Each structure stands twice: as structure tokens, then as C-alpha cells.
Structure 1
Amino acid sequence: MELKQELEWNEAQKISINVDLVAAAKRQLLFLEAVDRRNRWLCDGPALQKAIYRYNACWLPLLAKYSKCQILEGPLVVPLDCEWIWHCHRLNPVRYKSDCLEFYGRILDNLNVVSSVQGNSKRETEEIWNTLYPNEPYELELTSPLSDDISGEVSSTEKYSTYDLILAVKRQVPFFYQVSRPHMDHDVFLEGAVARYKGFLHLIKRNRERSIKRFCVPTYDIDLIWHTHQLHPVSYCNDLVAILGKVLEHDDTDSDRTKGKKLDVGFSVTTKQWEETFGSRYWRAGAMYRGSAPSPLTRTPWTSNMMTKRVLASNDYQKRIHLPEGKVVEVMLEFVGVRNLPEGHKGSLFVLFSKTQPDTIFNVETRLNILPESGEKQVALFQCQPTGQLLFDLVSDSPSNLFISRPSKTMGSTSISLENFLFPVSSLTVEKWLELVPSPGTVTSKPIGLRVAISFTIPTPAPYVLHIAHSWLFSKICCFFPLPGRVHFAKEWTRVIDAAGNDIISLLMRDFKKEKGRNNTNLKKEVIGLTKSDESRIVAEFDGIEWSFIDSQWSLKLERNVNKDGSIFELIGHRIVKLFPGRKLEYELKHCNGQGAECDFITAVEFSAQDPYGNAVALFDLKSETFQIKEEWFVLPGMTVAFILSDILRKEGYKGLSHTLSGMDLERDCLVQEVDRCHEEDTKGNLNSAVAQEVELKAEFAEGITPVPEKGGACGGGCGNTQKSGGCGSGCGGGCGNTQKSGGCGSGCGGSCGGSCGGGCGNRMKSSGCGGGGSGCGGGCGSSCGGGCGNTMKSSGCGGGVGSKVADGKTAGNPNISDHQEGAAIQANEAPTA
């Protein structure tokens, strides 16, 4: 910061706010989690209408009576349904103030009011409620059907706001998804957010002082604090009048993120003003738009008497499995400027950056331009392990002419240590000049300086990324499992390895000969597990009806029909986990018109009292035989399930995973896609027609028509080591690299979304790049990534669904703006595709 910018920042931090915003933000997150994860019935339908009625007819009058003369000793505890409507009403502070003044003559505050999710005693409040409203229960009961028409009840309510609370609720429903990541409730992150909120108010104050009409748009960390402040209506009104001379409007009705529209332009203008005023970056890791919220699996909460039970501590055998604990951090990186270049220097400048030590999440070198040289804002957003150093090489790309081609030249290098900021967490942002160590042949009077701006999130547990390595050869086009006819070795172990290639466990299926006179359904099987310490034991047993495994804590029911909720298998124990075909919930592939091989994925979803609508705990990538598991308790069950299904589906030609998709089961659907790709390649002269014929035979085999001859593979254009990767997938294009490390071309490399990543997927399993989701290409969507998805840092999540490339800061549907801003704010129910 220059002195003037530092003074502006210090002035902004003098803004006085009479609320502990860090503590209040944490309470808000807990409440939003309770609504989103356990009480979505409050967001639509008759329940929402009933909640609005109870809020107007019961809660606000009770609150007015309590605030005028304290009618009970303890705090008032607001019923959950009323609290949700009250929450949304207060987020239009101007309208809430006017309604309160009209009906009650004063602003009804939240002083001495306690949230229903904090576990405090509700007895005193419930007694007062029942006295005032004997015909209306304190808790909204859902045991009996609610009427779709409550107009009669509404008409009998004298003090009823005309503000459209139904639309207000619907605009707020997606907000929790944007602020629900683990780092959001960390003290250091929130303290930084409060400081940035004061900076945001300071910009608006400066604009008012200069009579500048400007549309200011917050990032999501600022917006979270802004919401928190508004939930304290008296303090918000008093504070904003003191700061700005008026109550700051918070209108969330504008939802158009399209490039060039008011919201997009407003964010760009706010970014520019912030950086000019304070000399620091406005964009912040962990605070940008994540794309639209995932589609729910069900709108009806799943209930069971088993949901109150909790799984026992990890059993002894699971504890013997060595699972290295990993951390992941999101990093946002920008190169702001360069100084002390050699005299007479010509040509453009860019920086190549990488990690100086192996990283199982991020292990690529990528390029980012420097703002003053390129004339456009380029920001890198990626995930990595919070260890080691980031290495920066400043490169000069000298201009060439028609006759002479000049190679790029590295002018110097420098680095920055991640541990210095993250262990312990001291600061989540840094912007400084770094001196470069000059490369041989580079001569300057002063050391070249590179100004680097970095922001981080709090390190959080990384998912366990595991890979199944079979000893038998794979079919090169079968989705996940080899078709019958392949030669395999029944007595060989199947290894499960982690992302770094370390063995976790080996598994073996043991079949017992059926007893004479018994049918096949009574055939007994066992899965044997062998740990690295050479300790073996029975992991699972099949009694002819269902699988029981891990000390009988779990049973796996293998249904042949799709359940009503869309699941295909159930894993039942102290927890209930259902397996759904495709990518669901947080793994959902967004903003792709041609989603391609969804048959290559299974999502494991836990249902519990805490997550009655489901919580995704694992994703199985069937094509690459790689799976991600979020929680340690599911690692051994997840590996066992994957191995059992592998054995079943291998023997049944993959038809065991039966799920209807437009009249086709998953195997046939996947093979039809492969046939189409092969014919398309054949018309381009890229694939021999005999290969396409083989694929058609495979598809016929899936129908039970004819056996499959053993022929060569159907991968066009260098898919790497397909024996280890499980095959090419739905169209790798060319040059997918080593698919053992990348997890196969899968759905990313030019396959699932209409050539989404082109060629050169890079190392997918070890990076957040093409097809892997994360913060890179996000599964490779449409034209948003272009070619070369191995370079995931040129966009902040192309495939998160918005814009051509975030590198410009001028996207079609800016993915970085929050859902609110001064004057006319936004609420993204759906993010537009590129």
C-alpha cells in the first residue's frame, strides 16, 4: 500500500459497529444450516405460507409485547418457522423498518431473543405463546396436512405486511450454499471479513461524499457480514445513519449475472475502486461465487428410527489401515506488477508458477500474465496442499518477426512459503514485492521486483482419493468393470492405493462351493482384507441374501430394481448410506448441456437426523476406478462396497448396476455413447471402422445378443496407459497423458461435455484439472475451458459454470459477485452457462 491508500484503509477501520459481528455471523451460519440441512419444508408450499401467517399474526405481536414490557424473566425463544421468515424480512432493512413503524410504532429488535437452534430452554416462551394463542401451537406441526389456502386466516390478521415474503424467502434459499464451506466460520477468516465489510461501507461513504452514484457489489465474505449486521435491525439502522446519514438499502431482486449487465459491471467497478482506494486485492479466496446450488435428491426429509443412532468408533481393523491425513487449501493468486526491468526491455511478461515439492492435489506448472503488461486482469484460483513453497519464474516473451523466432527467456525466480501463513494461521492475505534471483545472462542495476497478491482459505481436511488396481486386464471400453470373457486370476489380490501410489489395503473375493441341492442364491462368499502389516481377516460375508461386513456393523442390500428415491443400493448399519447413479449433490456436474457418461459415476449419500435430505460422502468414478471419500468412517465400507460391486458387475457384464435412463440401462447407455463416438471418429478418419464394429459388438453383448471377441482397444489418439487407467472413456481426444495418474480420461478430456477440454488433460487425479471438478475445469463444461485443461489456473473454475474465462475478470455472468449489493442486488437461483 502507498501511504495514501494505507490512510484510507485505516480510516475505514475506524467505522464503529455496535454488534459483535464475528460471533453473530457464526450464529447465523448455524441457523442457516438448520434450515438448509434439516428443515427445507419451510422454503416452499403450504408450510411456507403457514409460517408467514404465524410470523405476522403471532410472532411479531408477541415480540412487540415482550420488547415493550418484559413479560418473562429469560430470553424469548423464537419458533423455527417464524425465525426463518423474520430472518428474510430483516434482510430488507428499509422495508422491515417501515413495516415495524407502521404496525408497532418502533423497530422490533432481536435484543434478548434467542434462536431456536441454540438449544436453550423454550418452556417459558412456549407458556406465554400458549396463553396468547391457545389455538395455535408453539411449534409448527406437520403431522396433519396443511391447507393450500390460508387466505381466511390472513384476512383476519390486522397487522400483516404486504411485503412479498414468499419471494423474499425464495431469494434467500440459495445463500447458504455460497457460505457453507468450512473456512467460513473460522475466526481469522471472519475477522478479515469484518474488516473488508468496513472497507465496503467506506467506499459507499466516499461515493456519497463525492456525489458519485455507483453500484457497489460485495463478495460473499462481505455479504455474510452485511447480512449479519442487518439481522440486528436497531443497531444496523443506528450504525448506518451514523456512517452514511441513512439506512443502507439491501435489495436482492436483481439476479442477472450476464456480462455487461448491471450486476457484472457493478462488480467490476467495485473491484477497480477498491484496489485504487486501498491498494489491495478485492477478490478473495473462499469468498467468490460457487455456481448455483446443487439439485436436491428429495424434497421430503427421509426419516427412520435408525437415524438417531450413531456409528461406533472406528473398529480395530479399520484403525490398522494407514490413511495419511491430508489438508487442502484454496489459493487465489494475482501478479500485480513488475519493476526494475533491464533497460531497453521489450516484449510481454508472464509468470510460470508451480509447487517446489510434490503435491497430490496440484502438481502442474502454469502461466499467468501480469496486469500492467497484458492490460487485462488475470487471477488464478486453485486448490493445493498447504505445504511447501510456490515457485515463480518471470518470463519475457520477446516479439518475433517474419524471419526470426525468438525463444522465451526466464529473467529470474522467487518463491513464497505457504507454511509461513498457514501453520499457524496468521494472515490469509499477503501482497508484497518479491525480489527475483536473476537468471544467468540477466543484468539489471537493481534486483527485479515482482508484486504478488495471494489470499488463502483456512486449511481443511482433504477428501481421501483412492484408486482400485486390479491384477486382471481391463476391457478398454467397458465402464469400470471388465466384461466376461477377459482372462483374470481369481486368486490374485486387488490393491487399493491412495493418490500418492501408496498401498492402503488388498482385497480378495473367496467363493465357496455351493452345497449339493442348493441353488445359486445360497452360494457363500467372503471378502478377505490384507493390510500392509500382512494381517488378514474377513471383511465381508455373503449369506446368499445380503452382504454383512466389518464386524457385522453394516449390511449391503443388492436390489435389482431402482428404489423410489432413485437409489440402486443401500448400505445399512449405524448409519444409512444409499448409492445413487451419477453425480449428485455437491458432486453434481454443472452447466453442461451434454453431460455424457453419468453412468460412469455413483454417489454415496448418507441419510441421518442431521442430514435427512442427504449428505454426499463419496463419489465413485467407475471409469477410472478412482473414488473420493470425505469422511474416514466411510473409507473401509466404501472400499468394500466398491470391491463387491466390482465382482458382481464384472461377472454380469456390468448389467448388475441396473438403472433406467430413457429406457436404457446404464451399461447400454454408456456403450451407445461409445458407439456414437467411434462412428464420429471413423467419419473423420481417426478411427478404424473395425474398432467401431468391436464397440457395437460390446453393446450387443450388453443386450445379451452375442459374445464379445477379444480384439484391440478402441481408444483413439494416445490415451496413455489404458491398462492401468481402465480405458479411454467416452472419447479422450488426443494425448491424455498417463491415465493411471490422471484417473483416466473419464468424462473430462474431450468426452462428456462436447469436447469440453480438448486435448491435453494433464494429470487429472493429482490436479484440480480437467474432469476432476474441484477448482479447475470442473468436469470440463462446454466451451468454457477451451483447450488445455491441465492449465487450470487461467480460470477460477471454468465449469463452475459461468463465463468464458475468469482470468479476464470480465466474464459472461461474473462468477465472483455476491448475491446482494447497494441499490439493486442479485440472488442467483441459476447461474447461466458459458
Structure 2
Amino acid sequence: MEMEQEREWAEAQKIVVSVDLVDAAKRQLQFLAAVDRNRFLYEGPVLQRAIYRYNVCWLPLMAKHSESPICEEPLVVPLDCEWIWHCHRLNPVQYKSDCETLFGRILDNSNALSSVEEVSKRQTGEIWNAMYPEEPYELDLTDALLDISREFPQCEKVTKYDLVSAVKRQSSFFYQVSRPHMSDDIFLQEAVARYKGFLHLIRRNKERSIKRFCVPTYDIDLIWHSHQLYPMSYCKDLSNIMGKILEHDDMDSDRAKGKKLDVGFSETTQQWEDTYGCRYWRAGAMYRGSSPFPVSESPCPFKVLGKELGLLYQCKKLVQLSKVKVVEVVLEFVAVKNLPEGHKGSLFVTFSKKEPDMFFNSKRKLSIFSESGEKQVAYFQCEPSGELHFELTYQSRSNILITKPFKAIGSTDLSLQEFFAPISKLSAERWLELVPSSATMSSRPIFLCVAVSFTTPTPAPQVLHMVRSCPFSKSSCVSPLFGNIQHAKSWTRVIDELGNDVISLQMRYLNKERIKGDLASRKEVIGITESGETHILAEFVGDEWYIKGTCGSFWLQKKSGNDSHLFELISNKMVRLFHGRRLEYESKHCEKRRSDRDFVTAVEFSAEHPYGRGAALFDLRSGIFEVKDDWLVLLGITLAFILSDILRKEGYNGFSVKGVDLRERSNMIKKEKDKKSTTSGAVKREMAVNAEAKRAGCGNSQSPGCGEEGGSGCGQSAKSGGCGSCGGGGCGSGCGNIVESGGCGGCGGGCGGGCGNMVKCGGCGSCGSGCGNHLPCGNETTVGVSSEATEAVAAA
């Protein structure tokens, strides 16, 4: 930062807030999760009843208690009333006006506790029942036919504020902030500092009579909400900071280019970076897109298996998988200085992981803001270790039209160790000295300004591949397992992302026997672990599969009729299987080109997730299995294997990609391992993934099917945008992982639709439409693109 920018940031950090905002944010996240488990509160009769109870019961009770305490302990607000109270307080000016009009003072929460805190509700319940004998203290939120016609003597004292609309606006907020890093202390502490910086910008605008609609990122917005939930403190603090209570205008939600929210976010970004000299966009704090479509409109009653289990399995961890963590990264190249003479032209920085990992294993490139005048921001995931490698390249103006390759000027590295061992700070902006290339002559050291931010590390999902092996032959050196096998099936090997064997599976058909007068075939799924141990993983009992899992055993029951799910697994947990990509695995962008019938989503239902949580995804065509939790790994492996057998009648013939055996993927990885043992496992995986991508019509860099003029599909480099390379004029649709080209045509021309994971243009260069992944969406703009938050503030 320059000295003036440092002074501005220091001035912002002097802002005094009388609330522990880190603790308040954690409490808010806990409460919002409880509300999300009771989605009847979002709309319909239950919402109407909650608003009624809030107006005629809770507010009068709070007013009476604040005037003269009616009990020694704080009141505990019922969940439904707390939700309406929450949404009311998020319009602080309206809330203050309503309280003063109805009760003569602001009703604060200093003498009230949240319903989700572990405290006794007995005393509050007794007071409530005495005051409102006909109204239960805790409402049955599953009753969709609640009677809201009864009235109370105080019913004339109600707010005129449209609480139904307020709830509707806030019901989507939890999805945006419900990720693990949002509750991390370091992330929240930095969010508090950024919130103070946000308030300082608005204060500066007020002092200079600048009218600007300032739009927060979601980390700032979470802290802002947390502050407003303490109305007395918020009013006092904001009056001290800027002489008035700051309005929280959440009415605008249209993120289209040129609309109020889009313009406000771009202007806020520009002002922030000019004022503080650091980047406004933050990893893990940007818009995630709309909430996934639910698999059920009503909560699923969690049930435990009631019938006697026919087999008893001891819980034993049969597969050993490495624990891998992942972080999200937002990267921007801000400026370069001391550039040698004769190197003017198109400047880019190629960036990669010095030791590629399973999440980030390719080279990508971005322009430099100070040289191009266009903001380009890269979003990606990687493991929180190793080094990011940057190489500054240029192409002279005389070579642009004849597409000569870029020449290297110099390179430098940024170690991730300083951020994550231990975790200290989640963002940095610094000048890095380049090591000049052999062809670069410079009398002064060249520096590159790099801005980067991270989320805190979170456990990465396990991704496994099922590879069908050839059936045994007489000459095979491996014998079939012992037992009365009627006919041997081929083996299916399960390998991890690095090509390491996890377990091998086989379906055994035993002697046919009569069950209840019918001729039936007994089947088993057997597995051989890496150590050579043999285990029975599942048995076909009657007309159901009985499957062993790490956390217990499950019955797999097929569903029919009007049920939306295909199968159900029940035991001490309940898992339902749905066709297609559901919930967190919902199709986005280029993935929509794949048919939903190629996928099955395993959805876990529990008291914590009554509406379901995407726990695993099976790609039936490729044999790829992604799972989030350890308890589901062995169960999921067995289940995916059984599903392949069950669904084979629908046209699936084992695990293959367009007829190509995935054994090829494994062999490719193994060959590369023998060829160069020092090469990291992630590079080997990249070779396999690239081979599969070419078969599927997607390419890296400039491979056919994507990234060239007239193509379609998806790509992973700066020139791939579905169709039309950067500067080209192709048309089509698709998506690119780099900012320059979102859908087609790149940045130079062409039109169509698509999406970009990085941000310069979301649709297609200069014209088109599309959407960005995790970052704002839109077409080419000077300082960013579409708005990033549902909440905004208009500063007078």
C-alpha cells in the first residue's frame, strides 16, 4: 500500500464496535442453520402464524420485560418468533421506528437468548403460557394447516412493515454463507476488519457528498447482519461513526449487467482498491449462485431400521485413504514495474502449481491490470501446500496478428507454507522480484505485484475410480476366490486419484435355492483389500441387498410408484438415491451436456439435514465416485458396484467412457509412474484426465472441441471458451475456466452463450450472455463484473 492508503486503512480500523462480532457471526450461522432445518418458516401458513405470534406475543412480552423484568433469567425466544425478529432487525431504521411507535423505545436483545442456545426454556415457557394460555410457547412447525384467525387484546400493536417480503429476501442468505470456512476465527476476524473498511468508505462518501450504492461481499455482509442483530449497539455505534443510523437496503436482487446492484458493486470495488490499495474480491466471500433445487419440499422424517438385521458385521475400516485438504484461491496480477525497454506489447502472467496437485494441475494465464486496464481475476482450488509459480510473458505488437508464441521475461514463486503452516493470514498483496529469463536484459530488477486470497483449508471429498478388469482365464495367474461359484465375473478395481489400488470387487453368484417356493439366485459382493484380506461386503437376502458399511449395515430397498428416489438405505442413518445430479452436485454450465441418467446422487437425511444433504455422487458412465464423508466410503463403493449391476438393463455396460475401458486410465497412470518416478501423482492424474477429456470432446489449451473457432464444449485454458479463441470471431456455446472467454468468441469478438470460471467476461467476449462460477457474471467491464451480494446499502 502507498502511505496514504495505509493511513486510510489504519483510520478504518479505529472504528469502535461495541459487539463481539466474531462471536455474533458464529451465533447467527448457528441460528440460520436451525431455521433452514425448518423451512416451513420461509413461506405459507407457518410463516403467517409466526408473524402473528411475533406481533401479538413476543414483542409485547419483550416490551414488558424491558420495562420491568418479569423474571431473573433472560427470556428465550421461540424459534419461529426469533426468525421474524431476525428479519425485522435487518432493516434497522424500520425496526427502530416500529419499536418507538409501538412501545416508546427500541426493544433490544440484551435480555433475550436465542432458541438454539443450550439453556433452560422452562421459566420463559411458564410466563408465556400465563400470558397467552391459548397460544403454545413452542409452535409445531410441521403443521401446515395452522389456524391464524385468533386475536389477542394487543393485536392492534403490530408493525406495518412487510415481514413476508423481508423473510423472502433473507431466506436465500444462509446458502451463501453456509460453508465451513465462514465460521473460522481467522476468516471472521479478517471479515470484521473488512467490515470496518466498508463502513469507512461510506463515511468518506458522506463527508464528500458522494452518493454511491455500496455493495458488500458476503463476508462483510455476514458481519454487517451480525451487528444489526444488536439494535441498541448498532444504532449507537453507527451514530458515533457517521452521525446517523446506516440503512440496510436489501430490496435489490437483480444482478444483470448495468443494473443498480451490478453498478454499485463495480463502483465499490474501484473505491475500495483506490482507497486501501488492496483487493476487494475475497476467496470464499463471493456469490455462489442460486440455491440448489431441493429433493423434497417437506422434511423427511428420520427413521431407524426397525426390523431385525439378519447378519451381524463388526465395524471395521477396510479401506485406507489419505486425508487431503483443499482451499479456494482468488488470484489477480495488479501491476508490473521496471519492465525492460522493448518488451511492450501484450503482457500476461502464466500461473501454475510448482508441484501440481489433484485439484490444480494445469497452466493458466491472466493479463496484468495496470497494463491491460481490464480486471481479470482467477478462481481455482488447490491443496494448501507447495508453491504457486508465476511466469511473466509478452508478445510484441508486431507478432499479435501472426500468432507467434509469447516470450518469457522472468518468473517467481509464492510459497503457500507461510499462509497455512500455521494459518496466519488469508490474503496478501506484495511485490515479488522476478528471476529474469536468459533472453531478458535489464539493469534493474523486475517486480510483479500479486494479490491473492484464500479460504481456510477444509477436507476435500474423496474421488475414486472403478476400473473393470478382464474376466479370469485358464492362463490367469490370479485364481478366482474359493467358494461354490457358478460362473466367475470380471473384477472391478477401485483406485484413487493417483492410481493407487484401494479395493477390488467381484459379484459372486452362488447356488440357486428355493425361497418361499420361488427359484432365486443368491448373490454376494466380495472385496479384496490391498493387504489381501477377503471380506463379504454385501449379500442379496430375499429381494433386498444387505450392505456393510464402516458405520454399520444397511438394507437397500428399491422404491417404485410416486417416490422420486430410486432406492433407500436404512439403518442408523438414512440415505436415498436419486437419479441425476442433485443438491450440491446440481449440474452447472458445461456439465449440463451430460444426461442426468448418467448420474445418481446419494442424499443423506438426518436430524441435522431433514431436507437432505448431497453425500456422494455416482457417475455411472465413467465409474467415478465422489464422496464427502469417511463413513460413506466403503458403503458407497459397494453401492456403486451394485447399482452398476442393477442398472445394467438400462443400457449401462460396466464402467466405461464412450466404450473405452477405464482400465486405460489406470494403465496410463501406472506407465507414467514407471517412466518418471519423481513426477508427482497429480501430473499423472492430469494425463489420465486429459486423455478422457479428449475422448469426451473437451480440451485444454487449444484442443479441438473447445477453445477454437466454431467449437463447443468446455476448456481449461485462457483461450478456451466453448468456441472462438481470444481475439477470434467464432460463435457457439460452452464454458471456459479462464477469464478471457466465457462462452464463445473470447474477448475479441463472436457471440453466443456460456460460462466462465474466471471473470473477465462471463458469456462471450464483447457480446453474449453467461454466468461465472463462484464469481460475478457478466460481459467485459472495466472493474469487475456483476454484483456479488444480495444485500446492499445506499449511502447518502
Question: Scaled by the length of structure 1, what TM-score is found?
Answer: 0.80
> Structure 1 stretch 256-265 or stretch 508-517: which is displaced more?
508-517
Rounded to whole Å, the distance in 2 between the matches of 1:72 and 1:517 is 67
1:499–1:790 CA distance, 2 compared to 1 (3 A): farther
Maintained 8 Å contact 2:205/2:795:
no
TM-superposition CA deviations, 1:545-588 (whole Å, max 9, x none): 11112279333434262552x10011111100000001111111
Maintained 8 Å contact 1:798/1:805:
no
> Structure 1 stretch 453-462 or stretch 623-632: which is displaced more?
623-632
Shift of 1:302: 1.0
1:414–1:737 CA distance, 2 compared to 1 (3 A): closer
SS at match of 1:451: strand
Rounded to whole Å, the distance in 2 between the matches of 1:433 and 1:801 is 25
Shift of 1:206: 0.5
SS at match of 1:118: coil
Q: Which residue of 1 aligns with 2:14?
A: 14
1:631–1:468 CA distance, 2 compared to 1 (3 A): same
TM-superposition CA deviations, 1:27-48 (whole Å, max 9, x none): 0000001111x11111111000
> Structure 1 stretch 740-749 or stretch 297-306: which is displaced more?
740-749
Letter of the 1:819 counterpart? T
SS at match of 2:286: coil
Shift of 1:738: 5.9
Q: Which residue of 2 aligns with 1:379?
A: 377
Letter of the 1:392 counterpart? F
Letter of the 1:72 counterpart? C
Q: Which residue of 2 aligns with 1:168?
A: 166
In angstroms, what is the RMSD of aligned CA positions? 3.7
Rounded to whole Å, the distance in 1 between the matches of 2:174 and 2:641 is 36
Rounded to whole Å, the distance in 1 between the matches of 2:53 and 2:401 is 80
Letter of the 2:445 counterpart? P
1:346–1:456 CA distance, 2 compared to 1 (3 A): same
Rounded to whole Å, the distance in 2 between the matches of 1:360 and 1:58 is 55
Maintained 8 Å contact 1:389/1:418:
yes
Q: Which residue of 2 aligns with 1:121?
A: 120
> Structure 1 stretch 195-204 or stretch 393-402: which is displaced more?
393-402
SS at match of 2:352: strand
Q: Which has the higher strand share?
A: 2
Q: Which residue of 2 aligns with 1:111?
A: 110
Letter of the 1:582 counterpart? G
1:606–1:594 CA distance, 2 compared to 1 (3 A): closer
Rounded to whole Å, the distance in 2 between the matches of 1:64 and 1:562 is 53
Q: Which residue of 2 aligns with 1:76?
A: 75
Q: Which residue of 1 aligns with 2:611?
A: 613
SS at match of 1:823: strand
1:321–1:714 CA distance, 2 compared to 1 (3 A): closer
TM-superposition CA deviations, 1:638-674 (whole Å, max 9, x none): 0000001112333x244899xxxxxxxxx9xxxxxxx
Query: How do 1:447-596 residues align onto structure 2 when only pairs under 5 Å count?
Result: 447-472=445-470, 490-515=488-513, 522-550=520-548, 553-559=552-558, 561=560, 563-564=562-563, 566-590=564-588, 596=594
Maintained 8 Å contact 2:470/2:491:
no
Q: Which runs of 5+ in 2 are unaligned?
A: 472-486, 667-684, 700-704, 724-733, 763-770
Shift of 1:440: 0.2
Maintained 8 Å contact 2:335/2:449:
yes
Shift of 1:422: 1.2
Rounded to whole Å, the distance in 1 between the matches of 2:755 and 2:776 is 19
TM-superposition CA deviations, 1:128-151 (whole Å, max 9, x none): 111111111100124755347x35
- Residue 822 (1) aligns with residue 793 (2): yes
- Residue 418 (1) aligns with residue 454 (2): no
Shift of 1:520: 6.9
1:412–1:307 CA distance, 2 compared to 1 (3 A): farther
Maintained 8 Å contact 2:493/2:503:
yes
Rounded to whole Å, the distance in 1 between the matches of 2:224 and 2:554 is 47
Maintained 8 Å contact 2:376/2:758:
no
Rounded to whole Å, the distance in 1 between the matches of 2:202 and 2:221 is 14
The match for 1:194 among 189, 192, 195 is: 192
> Structure 1 stretch 514-523 or stretch 416-425: which is displaced more?
514-523
Rounded to whole Å, the distance in 2 between the matches of 1:555 and 1:153 is 50
Query: How do 1:646-665 residues align onto structure 2 when only pairs under 5 Å count?
Result: 646-650=644-648, 652-654=649-651
1:352–1:577 CA distance, 2 compared to 1 (3 A): same
Q: Which residue of 1 aligns with 2:674?
A: none
1:460–1:378 CA distance, 2 compared to 1 (3 A): same
The match for 1:287 among 271, 285, 288 is: 285
Maintained 8 Å contact 2:715/2:735:
no
Shift of 1:492: 3.3
Rounded to whole Å, the distance in 2 between the matches of 1:164 and 1:592 is 40
1:403–1:300 CA distance, 2 compared to 1 (3 A): closer
Q: Which residue of 1 aligns with 2:730?
A: none
Query: How do 1:612-761 residues align onto structure 2 when only pairs under 5 Å count?
Result: 612-650=610-648, 652-654=649-651, 724=664, 749=698, 758=711
Query: How do 1:275-354 residues align onto structure 2 when only pairs under 5 Å count?
Result: 275-306=273-304, 318-354=316-352
Maintained 8 Å contact 1:365/1:791:
no
Q: Which residue of 2 aligns with 1:139?
A: 138
Maintained 8 Å contact 2:21/2:192:
yes
Shift of 1:806: 8.0
Maintained 8 Å contact 2:468/2:663:
no
Letter of the 1:171 counterpart? R
Quote the sequence identity (%): 57
TM-superposition CA deviations, 1:306-328 (whole Å, max 9, x none): 2999x9xx987652411100101
Q: Which residue of 1 aligns with 2:55?
A: 56
Rounded to whole Å, the distance in 1 between the matches of 2:691 and 2:129 is 62
Maintained 8 Å contact 2:348/2:368:
yes
Q: Which residue of 2 aligns with 1:228?
A: 226
Letter of the 1:823 counterpart? A
SS at match of 1:442: coil
Q: Which residue of 1 aligns with 2:3?
A: 3
The match for 1:209 among 207, 210, 234 is: 207
Rounded to whole Å, the distance in 2 between the matches of 1:26 and 1:632 is 26
Rounded to whole Å, the distance in 1 between the matches of 2:82 and 2:163 is 13
> Structure 1 stretch 43-52 or stretch 150-159: which is displaced more?
150-159
Shift of 1:243: 0.7
1:535–1:165 CA distance, 2 compared to 1 (3 A): same
1:340–1:571 CA distance, 2 compared to 1 (3 A): same
1:745–1:226 CA distance, 2 compared to 1 (3 A): farther
Shift of 1:347: 1.1
Maintained 8 Å contact 1:596/1:747:
no
Q: Which residue of 1 aligns with 2:89?
A: 90
Rounded to whole Å, the distance in 1 between the matches of 2:468 and 2:657 is 20
Rounded to whole Å, the distance in 2 between the matches of 1:318 and 1:743 is 35
Letter of the 2:57 counterpart? C
> Structure 1 stretch 276-285 or stretch 640-649: which is displaced more?
640-649
SS at match of 1:634: helix
Shift of 1:431: 0.4
The match for 1:803 among 761, 777, 793 is: 777
Shift of 1:794: 5.6
Rounded to whole Å, the distance in 1 between the matches of 2:512 and 2:759 is 59
Maintained 8 Å contact 2:757/2:774:
no
Letter of the 1:122 counterpart? K
Shift of 1:513: 2.2
Question: Scaled by the length of structure 2, what TM-score is found?
Answer: 0.84
Maintained 8 Å contact 1:749/1:760:
yes
SS at match of 1:454: strand
Maintained 8 Å contact 1:364/1:791:
no
1:387–1:594 CA distance, 2 compared to 1 (3 A): closer
TM-superposition CA deviations, 1:723-748 (whole Å, max 9, x none): 7479xxxxxxxxx9966567657988
Q: Which residue of 2 aligns with 1:67?
A: 66
Query: How do 1:347-362 residues align onto structure 2 when only pairs under 5 Å count?
Result: 347-362=345-360
TM-superposition CA deviations, 1:66-121 (whole Å, max 9, x none): 11111111111000000000000000000000000000000000103111011211
Letter of the 2:135 counterpart? E
Q: Which runs of 5+ in 1 are unaligned?
A: 474-488, 658-666, 668-712, 727-735, 826-834
SS at match of 2:625: strand
> Structure 1 stretch 184-193 or stretch 438-447: which is displaced more?
438-447
